[in-house]
Amino acid sequence: MTEILRSDVLIIGGGPAGLAAAKAASDGTLRVTVLEKSLEIGYPIHTSGGSWTRELRALGVPEQYIHPIRTLQFISSGNEASFDYDFPEICVIDIRAVYQNWAEQASLQGAVIHTNTLAQELLYEEGKLCGVKAVRNGNPIIYKAKVLIDASGFSALVARQSGLSSPSQSYGKGAEYEIVTKSWSQDKTAILLGSAFTPVGYGWVFPYGKHRVRVGVGVLAPYSKADPMPLLEAFLAGSHPLAQKLQPYSILETHFGSVPNSGYIAKSYADNLLIAGDAAGQVLGLAGEGIRLAYDIGMMAGQTAAEAIAHGDTSEQQLARYETLWKKKFARSIDLNARLNGIVSSYTDAQWDRALDILKDVDPEIVLALMKGYFDLRLVKLILSRNPGLFAHNAMKIIRKAVTGS
């Protein structure tokens, strides 16, 4: 007979969104269960780990897992632009350690995490979602709950089976090596743009301490059908000066990942269901970043689920508050990121070279704000006060109009 486990909140996925939701929902009274399909939290790695120091500190990430970066370099086929920062605004995180730290926090709050557990099929009772059929350590098991939170990432397992999502038409796919090299400065990161690296997308060089460097290539589909791994291999084996700077090196790990870039899904809630993180398309697509958003929005999902259960009402009317919360903070930026990504996807090498010429004259604080992808009134005011000429360019016009209406 198949085992049945019951929870108040069942979370599919043990990434940032799922772990944040678990922590937020675990108030000491609710039974919260997280299902993670991998053998361990935080591995295999699907992200480069590039992020922002202040934001991660605000999320409580321990300092020892944050590697500081003080120089940001953009390299195109025929140009370069470099920015130095006294305070290391940019950072690269130890992904496995950070995710496991979040898992520990959620567990100490009362959540229970099951690894090597693959959710396969949704369960319904009287037409209402009530759980999933899963396989744990090779054995079938049924998990039932009052509220499910889909934080299953790019696969969006629950969202797709429930009809709230379909496979992303635009997405980034990346390949990355984690290497050991003595030849790369540990306080400098590089963003690689143009056909010397990838036909559509970008490459990166992200150091994160102890001579370790993550070097990767991302491709934006459907604008290109190229496989990022051969592109990465060709770059590292080629004569580009940057590739030569990485020599000699040894490969310690190989990472693959995909991130949606079609914008957020039309509806992120239903009866007994919330959808968070990559599963909901809650990604800043220009930089392909989702960790900060996923954690923040995951907290909103967990809090909303807990409040709904406390009120004895897990209907979509009650859970709709979750969408109101995350959209107020992030919807415009997510939408603008997706639109801008569509623009730069057609850039030629000459356009990237020209873009870096423009970027060289931009205030370093504006460069950071643009990289973070939070397109709001603060960014518009910053540009108006320091580099108003930026608004002469098409992409900046789009941002200004979306934020100010003019």
Residue 141 is encoded by which pair of tokens?
Answer: 């098991």
pLDDT for residue 287: 72
Backbone angles phi, psi at 263, to 5 degrees: 85, 175
Partner residues linked to 192 by β-bridges: 75, 203
The Cα 173–Cα 48 span in angstroms is 12
Structure tokens at 104: 């520990």
31 sits in the region (left: phi over 0; alpha: psi -120 to 50; else beta) called: beta
Q: CATH topology for 3-39+115-168+262-330?
A: FAD/NAD(P)-binding domain (3.50.50)
Quick one: pLDDT at residue 278? 94
Q: Tell me the whole-structure pTM to 2 decimals.
A: 0.95
Whether the link from the prior residue into 364 is cis, omega within 30° of 0, is: no
Between the two ends of the chain, the Cα-to-Cα distance in Å is: 64
What angle do the packed helices 16-25 and 291-310 form, to 10 degrees? 30
Which residues lie across from 204 on neighbouring strands? 191, 216
d(CA 207, CA 67): 8
pLDDT at site 292: 86
The pLDDT, as a whole number, for residue 288 is 67
User: Hey, where are the domains in the chain?
Assistant: 3-39+115-168+262-330, 62-93+171-260, 345-404
Can you give the C-alpha Rg of the chain in angstroms?
Answer: 21
* CA dist., res. 79 & res. 67, Å (int): 27
Q: How far apart are CA 272 and CA 284, in angstroms?
A: 27
210 backbone dihedrals φ, ψ, rounded to 5°: 55, 40
Specify the fold of 62-93+171-260. Answer: D-Amino Acid Oxidase; Chain A, domain 2 (3.30.9)
Per-residue pLDDT of the chain (406 residues; tens, 9 = 90+): 799 999 999 999 999 999 999 999 998 899 999 999 999 999 999 888 999 999 999 988 999 999 999 999 999 999 999 999 999 999 999 999 999 999 999 999 999 999 999 999 999 999 999 999 999 999 999 999 999 999 999 999 999 999 999 888 888 899 999 999 999 999 999 999 999 999 999 999 999 998 999 999 999 888 889 999 999 999 999 999 999 999 999 999 999 999 988 889 999 999 999 999 999 999 987 776 778 889 999 999 999 999 999 999 999 999 999 999 999 999 999 998 888 888 888 899 999 999 999 999 999 999 998 888 888 888 899 999 999 998 888 888 888 888 888 7
**What's the pLDDT at 397?**
87
d(CA 54, CA 67): 12
Instruction: Give the residue among 248, 139, 125 at the shortest CA–CA distance from 184.
Output: 248
SS3 assignment for 310-333 = HCCCCCHHHHHHHHHHHHHHHHHH
Cα–Cα dist 187/345, whole Å: 29
